[in-house]
């Protein structure tokens, strides 16, 4: 491999047009590395706005299934990169990576789906990055995620780096003065004494929207504001139909996709974030809520639930928490909102929350330096 000064960093992400969290992180890491003076090239099957201004090589989009497309992308990437002069960084599990920025949970722990073709393909790609014959450096996003991979693959500790959150600094918001907050609540249809719950996500079932709805039906003084998911999405529609059956549909406000300005309004107005996810590697909305002084009710199987426990700014429930447990936790958090809001702000002010992207770039640089010195 060429010396570090002559090395290009190849960043592989399967589909930049998706513009999800991993895709946004890939573009942000690429730009940090470019700003530090490194040569960077993206490899993807699509470009999209995220790639604007970054050199990119477009590979063919092949395959009829998600796992088939990922396997094809991994194969095509091997033929496209030059490992003598490029450090290869993947934002999905792929073969031949020097560094993996790992944004998902461990497939080897998913026992129920082992016979499915999707499981076999994705497990093979995971083994290429995490297995005993791999030297891929692993950038993990939360401690529970890292622990799951260590259990499944007996990974040497020095191969794993757990990054802090990637919270955008602009998401750190002061609490609003009470008159301004009350006016904002009225503009969103929140009555004066209502307990306003906020749910944010694009995967209704995975992120526990149905569980929030079931809890809402047991809390007649609560209103649920739902952001992120398209209300017309078939899974979201099913949740709202369930709310009709439970008699609480009239206490749900679906705002759809939320830009930064809408998120500012929602965090400013709502009493708490309810995030009873079934599984969430991180749960970025958790630290976004804390950064806005909004207490959180969440479940233990969210990576960033640890920040709720550490701050004391909310309650962390068991992964299988019942609707009644969620409703009771929301009631308790609402009753202590002022003090919990202060705890949230104090915690974010003294905890590393915004440097995940920069430290990911640093981790990539360190791997490149070691490899060029070898």
Backbone angles phi, psi at 131, to 5 degrees: -70, 175
Residue 5 pLDDT: 58
Length of the chain: 374
Angle formed by the axes of helices 356-373 and 21-35, nearest 10°: 60
User: What whole-number distance in Å separates Cα of residue 351 and Cα of residue 332?
Assistant: 25
Residue 371 pLDDT: 81
User: What whole-number distance in Å separates Cα of residue 199 and Cα of residue 273?
Assistant: 6
Residue 48 pLDDT: 86
* pLDDT tens track for 24-70: 999 999 999 999 999 999 999 999 899 999 999 999 999 889 889 99
Q: Average pLDDT of 248-252?
A: 96
Is the pLDDT score of 275 beyond 90?
yes
Residue 2 pLDDT: 45
The overall average pLDDT reported for the chain is: 94
* pLDDT tens track for 122-143: 999 999 999 999 999 999 999 9
Contact between 272 and 194 under an 8 Å Cβ cutoff? The reply is: no
Is the pLDDT score of 244 beyond 70?
yes
Contact between 45 and 59 under an 8 Å Cβ cutoff? The reply is: yes
Residue 1 pLDDT: 45
Confidence of residue 112 (pLDDT cuts 50, 70, 90): low
Q: Average pLDDT of 296-302?
A: 97
Residue 7 pLDDT: 76
Domains within the chain, CATH numbers bracketed: 4-164+355-373 (3.40.50.2000), 169-349 (3.40.50.2000)
* pLDDT tens track for 140-167: 999 999 999 999 999 999 999 999 999 9
């Amino acid at each position: 491999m060429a010396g570090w000064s002559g090395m290009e960093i190849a960043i592989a992400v399967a589909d930049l047009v998706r513009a999800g969290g991993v895709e946004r992180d890939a573009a942000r890491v690429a730009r940090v590395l470019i700003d530090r003076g490194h040569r960077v090239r993206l490899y993807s099957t699509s470009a999209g706005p995220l790639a604007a201004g970054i050199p990119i090589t477009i590979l063919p989009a092949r395959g009829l299934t998600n796992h088939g497309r990922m396997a094809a992308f991994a194969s095509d990437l091997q033929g496209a990169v030059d490992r003598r002069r490029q450090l290869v960084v993947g934002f999905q599990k792929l073969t031949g990576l020097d560094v993996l920025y790992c944004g998902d949970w461990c497939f080897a722990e998913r026992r129920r789906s082992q016979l499915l073709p999707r499981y076999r393909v994705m497990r093979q790609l995971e083994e290429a990055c995490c297995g005993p014959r791999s030297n891929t450096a692993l950038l993990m996003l939360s401690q529970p995620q890292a622990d799951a991979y260590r259990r499944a693959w007996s990974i040497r500790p020095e191969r794993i780096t757990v990054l802090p959150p990637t919270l955008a600094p602009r998401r750190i918001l002061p609490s609003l003065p009470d008159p301004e907050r009350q006016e904002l609540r009225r503009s969103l249809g929140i009555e004066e004494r209502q307990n306003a719950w906020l749910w944010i996500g694009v995967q209704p079932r995975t992120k526990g929207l149905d569980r929030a709805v079931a809890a809402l039906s047991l809390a007649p003084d609560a209103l649920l504001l739902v952001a992120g998911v398209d209300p017309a999405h078939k899974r979201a529609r099913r949740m709202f139909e369930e709310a009709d059956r439970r008699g609480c549909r009239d206490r749900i406000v679906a705002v759809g996709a939320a830009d930064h300005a809408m998120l500012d309004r929602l965090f400013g107005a709502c009493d708490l974030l309810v995030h009873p996810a079934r599984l969430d590697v991180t749960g970025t909305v958790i630290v976004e809520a804390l950064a806005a002084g909004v207490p959180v009710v969440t479940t233990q199987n969210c990576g960033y639930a640890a920040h709720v426990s550490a701050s004391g700014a909310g309650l962390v429930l068991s992964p299988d928490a019942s609707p009644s447990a969620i409703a009771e936790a929301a009631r308790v958090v609402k009753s202590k909102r002022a003090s919990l809001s202060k705890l949230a702000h104090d915690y974010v002010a003294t905890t590393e929350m915004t440097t995940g992207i920069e430290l990911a770039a640093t981790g990539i640089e360190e791997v490149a330096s070691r490899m060029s010195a070898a």
